[in-house]
Amino acid sequence: MATQTTASCTGSTLLQPISDIINLPLDQVNFVAGQLFALLMAVWFRIYLHPSKTSPFIRHVVATLLGFYLALFCFGWYSLHFLVQSGLSYSVMVFAGLEHMHKYCFIVTLGYLILCQITRVYVFDYGMYSADFTGPMMVITQKITSMAFEIHDGLTKREGQLTPNQKYLAISRMPSLLEYLSYNCNFMGILAGPTCSYNDYKAFIEGTSYQPRHQENANGKENGKYKQTEPSSKNDVISKLCTCAISLAIYLSLCKLLPVERSIDDGFISSTPFHLQVVYLYLAMLALRPKYYFVWTLADAINNAAGFGFNGYNKDGSPRWDLISNLRILDIEFATSFKMFLDNWNIQTALWLKRVCYERCPINPTAATFMLSAMWHGVYPGYYLTFLTGIVMTMAARAIRHNIRPYFLVSDSHKRVYDVITWAGTQVAISYTVVPFVLLAVGPSFKFYRSCYFCLHLLCLLLVLALPVRSRRRQAKEQPGGLLKDGLLKDGLLKDGLLKDGLQDNQTEHNSTDNNCNQKAKAT
């Protein structure tokens, strides 16, 4: 395997001719080729290494070796960082005391990720906004830290100290080194994730992920019988691949026509009316999102093709394959609130932030979650500007919802007007907030905000000061039980660099792991 030593790509140069023909960076071509190879291997894995035909040991070995091969193909020797990070963390799990093991593991894993990010950005190639080896390390960090907390819950805490969700996720036996590496570096998620719980992955490898599910009839009531045949993911995989093709076509067609950088061009700013600048910003961000739709949906399809991602049955008896889905596109594009947009964006990262930080931090969990998300994303200054702006946006959105929304609920016509206004406001606010996340550097980001006179920052501050909003924790004290029921995350989470004003724990739609927990309890 040839290896390119330039900063832009450290992996194989086998596809360099294709990269030259289609005029795309080699690392991106390698990434797409690697994911397509993983898709084919996923189909083969499910057919020929089905749990009924082979042992969990063989499935773990094959999944791990294929994952290492893909990592070497895309990242070359930089993929050794995946093994170093995993090895250091596993050593902490084994040799540290159980009482504080999860804390030490969290510090070591996140610290190693940050060290690699600093090295890549400030030593090798500042501004390389493409496929890089720290991307997979971010997902591995999520998996390792989640596993550490779940082991701590399973081996040191009594059931009464855990929430129902934590009981389901708790790990009662230390995973072997093979199981640990398979979970972190399997071929289905090594390049683009998404993260998942260890118990869900273990059930997939052992072939028990379908057993707790119950078939539901048209009224949504369980009939108490297991589905006799293993559910097929074919239709969902085909649908998601079609979504990938459309997203990729849109992104390649529009990304160069509508660059975000034009928003800070002096000629564009001086010659374009302000309202048209706002429209252009929205269109530029709209053209940028399909890149994420393509990556995350393809990753979801790969897992589904291997048989991973089953999440029970719909009311009509059809199987659901959204256990580890990372986004819901229509809900994103037609979101009528900051919260709704972020509820459907990078879902698995928000669940990780909730489980390892928000639910466990005793002091100011919202600020702690912001800090964790900022450090996890990287060291570009633009990320932190986006996070800080997201705080103000979320507080203002909460104030508007609590104080103004009730006046529009008096009739359907008023509600429709409110929805249209809030949809437009949400799209503008999201676009305004994430500009630094795209531009990365401080100078261009402040240049953009100066060209807008910091208008949304000032408006949001005025709204927060003028409209009173009681904290949700205070409301929970006044109304016992109003905060919990695993809907604990109503104060905020960060999703891909943004403050998440709540995470819906709806069992039938959104929080798939909680759904698993409840279904397992019923089956028992």
Catalytic residues: 346, 377
Distances (CA, A) of 491 to 66, 391, 398, 474, 505: 40, 11, 10, 11, 13
Quick one: angle between helices 134-156 and 80-95, nearest 10? Answer: 10
* C-alpha span between 42 and 67 (Å, rounded): 11
Q: Which of 130, 134, 131 is nearest to 114 (CA)?
A: 134
Structure-block tokens of residue 364: 């100011």
Bridge partners (DSSP) of residue 216 are: 222
Q: Find, among 356, 341, 309, the residue nearest to 422 by Cα.
A: 341
**Which own/partner contact pairs does 201-209 have at CB distance under 8 Å and 24+ positions apart?**
201/308, 204/306, 204/307, 204/308, 205/51, 205/56, 205/59, 205/60, 205/63, 206/51, 206/56, 207/50, 207/51, 207/52, 209/307, 209/308, 209/310
Please state, in angstroms and rounded to a whole number, the distance separating the CA atoms of residues 81 and 124. Answer: 15
Enter the tokens of residue 305. 């093709």
41 HSE (CA, 13 A, CB side) = 20
Q: Is 472 helix (H, G, I), strand (E, B) or coil?
A: helix
Residue with tokens 């943004």: 498
The answer to whether the beta carbons of residues 244 and 297 sit under 8 Å apart is: yes
CA atoms within 13 A on the CB side of 418: 15
Residue with tokens 């091969």: 69
The contacts of residue 381 (CB under 8 Å, 6+ apart) are 436, 440, 441, 442, 445
**Which of 14, 130, 137, 18 shows the shortest CA–CA distance to 71?**
137
CA distance 291 to 280: 18
CA–CA dist 365, 378 (Å, integer): 20
- State the Cα–Cα distance between residues 137 and 77, nearest whole angstrom: 14
Q: Tokens in use for 3?
A: 């290896």
Distance separating alpha carbons of residues 351 and 296, to the nearest angstrom: 16
